[in-house]
Structure 1
Amino acid sequence: MSRDRSQWGWADGRSVARATRLPRARLSVVAALAASVRAHRRRLPRAGAMVRLAAKCLLAGDPAVGKSALAQMFRSDGAHFQKNYTLTAGIELLVKAVSVPETSDSVEFFIFDSAGKDLFSEMLEKLWEQPNVLCLVYDVTNEQSFNNCNKWLEKLRAQAVGMHIPGVLVGNKTDLADRRVVEQEQAQEWAEKHGLEYCEMSVKEMKNFEAPFHILAKLFHQLYKEKVETFHSLA
């Protein structure tokens, strides 16, 4: 059975008022919402068009787990591994685009490399606001760094209440196999429990260091597609 589009509030302000009998004072708000949805739909890319997204990526974890090394290796495409790192003070910003696997689209990551010390992270909570994706790193030879992933995840979700933030848990330093204390199965189970993807790497040996960002690009792109479909259904 066909339905008059005005009853859903997307025709114009007068139709909304007739269908819902809203007071005139609220009419402008509803009409503005309808106009916003229509305008957003006009801005949506055509089917088959290449899409370039931008995402704020929080790189979190304890000190000395390899966050900065990971970010620098990713930005330089593995050109070099810096042997001596000083602890990050505050937050460093790195920018790099990555192709979304199996598509012609890409995501430009604005990577916020967070200090691992509580003192700094508390001072810089404002810079954690409105994240899009999370890369949570721990050291497979340091059980405390793995246990503290709960703390980092709680901090993120306190900044993004009610939002779905795609994320990946990353176990670094797999080259130190004889010193390993956190097993892959244990970390995988924790990640799944908290709605995160999981991967392992060795930044020092330049193994799998691009994987976390490829995973995040795919997750963020999927979230984008779902939102586009939602807007299409509303318009």
Structure 2
Amino acid sequence: MSRAGDQSNRRMLKEAGRPVARAAALLGPRQSRVAAAAFPRIGPGRAGAMVKLGAKCLLAGDPAVGKSALAQMFRSDGAHFQKNYTLTTGIELLVKAVSVPETSDSVEFFIFDSAGKDLFSEMLEKLWEQPNVLCLVYDVTNEQSFNNCAKWLEKLRAQAVGMYIPGVLVGNKTDLVGRRVVEQKQAQEWADKHGLEYCEMSVKEMKNFEAPFHILAKSFHQLYKEKVETFHSLA
């Protein structure tokens, strides 16, 4: 990226009130330049025009539930599944666009995949500011990872108090049928209670790994449409 382009991206972040210096320090120079595009301003498009939206997506959950595997599989369209993972020790940024069904529009996700440990809570707070969508992952064979979803959701929503943020709860590792301890009905009820969509998947078997982001794209696009309608009603 040119020096002028980098400066332009930094101005975008400053205008949106984002912590550029902190993001650059945590993500590194390469990823910080990419992160500058992760904070879109939603506005009305021209009638009949294709709309491209950008959304900051926070991916959260306990260690070893499959967050990084999900993000990598989604970004590579199922072509990349790493069998031997090392735990994420900070923040990773992945970018991927999703078409919105039954429209010509799309949502480009800037996915912040974070370590699932409280040790990194200060780092998370710095980069989790004002998310657009949330993806909360747990392991269906690990009841504690499901119980901890309440803690993660509280942390996520604390970054956007008073705002509606579309979110999805994801149960991973459904391939481990004999070891399952969290039933689908239980998780669905919890998601409904907390205003989240719900889906299950098996990243290992490459089943349904795109579903969470398609759900989020549809929800975020609907939110955009509602904002446009409100804008036109006030015009």
Could you state the TM-score of these two structures normalised by the residue count of structure 2? 0.81
Structure 2 distance, partners of 1:185, 1:125, is: 32
Conserved 8 A contact 1:90-1:121: no
1:91-130 residue pairs with structure 2 within 5 A?
91-130=91-130
Conserved 8 A contact 2:44-2:231: no
1:183-202 residue pairs with structure 2 within 5 A?
183-202=183-202
Conserved 8 A contact 1:173-1:204: yes
Deviation, 1:158, is 1.0
List gaps (5 residues or longer) in structure 2.
1-40
Aligned residues with identical type, % of pairs? 93
- TM-superposition CA deviations, 1:185-231 (whole Å, max 9, x none): 00000000000000000000000000000000000000000001111
Structure 1 distance, partners of 2:194, 2:122, is: 23
In structure 2, the residue matched to 1:74 is 74
What amino acid does structure 1 have at the position aligned with 2:56?
K
What amino acid does structure 2 have at the position aligned with 1:174?
T
- TM-superposition CA deviations, 1:158-198 (whole Å, max 9, x none): 11100100000000000000000000000000000000000
In structure 2, the residue matched to 1:205 is 205
Q: Secondary structure at the match of 1:103?
A: coil
Conserved 8 A contact 1:174-1:201: yes
CA RMSD of aligned residues (A): 1.4
Q: Secondary structure at the match of 1:59?
A: strand
Which has more radius of gyration?
1
1:51-200 residue pairs with structure 2 within 5 A?
51-200=51-200
Matched pairs, number: 195
Structure 1 distance, partners of 2:220, 2:158, is: 20
Structure 2 distance, partners of 1:101, 1:167, is: 18
Structure 1 distance, partners of 2:131, 2:142, is: 27
Structure 1 distance, partners of 2:145, 2:196, is: 17
Q: Secondary structure at the match of 1:232?
A: helix
In structure 2, the residue matched to 1:229 is 229
Structure 2 distance, partners of 1:80, 1:89, is: 20
Q: Secondary structure at the match of 2:189?
A: helix
Deviation, 1:121, is 2.6
Q: Secondary structure at the match of 2:96?
A: strand
In structure 2, the residue matched to 1:37 is none
Conserved 8 A contact 1:174-1:200: yes
Structure 2 distance, partners of 1:114, 1:154, is: 16
Conserved 8 A contact 1:128-1:156: yes
Structure 1 distance, partners of 2:68, 2:156, is: 19
